[in-house]
Amino acid sequence: MTIILTNDDGIDAPGIQALVKVVNNKNVIIAAPQEYQSGYGYQVTTHRPIKLQRCSEVEYRIAGTPADCVRIAITQICEDIKFVLSGTNPGGNLGVDA
């Protein structure tokens, strides 16, 4: 069983490391945007190639939205995905409410 960890604040944001601690010693893949993508949770990239950089055996920096990251993780990186965990981030998650 593999768990994808992602967020919308970028792969270097502290929230992704908080998720790593929560799923301590589980089989995880970190597939997160290379930069801040807050507010783009539902958006997918259709008009340009999406660059993927493998940072470690389990960590991928993806030049796309959070949805792109999950799509790439389940179709190109690992097919045995059971869960996707997203977050944590500072502030409210108000995307569709704003």
**Residue type for 3, please?**
I
pLDDT, position 92: 63
Distance of CA 65 to CAs 18, 20, 27, 84, Å?
Answer: 20, 20, 23, 15
- For 7, how many CA atoms within 13 A lie in the half-sphere containing its CB? 22
pLDDT, position 83: 92
pLDDT, position 77: 93
> Pairing between strand 81-86 and 59-62?
unpaired
Q: Kindly report, residue by residue over 45-86, the tens digit of the pLDDT.
A: 999 999 999 999 999 999 999 999 999 999 999 988 999 988
The predicted model scores a pTM of 0.86
Q: Kindly report, residue by residue over 12-56, the tens digit of the pLDDT.
A: 988 888 888 888 877 999 999 999 887 776 789 999 999 999 999
Domain boundaries along the sequence of the chain: 2-91
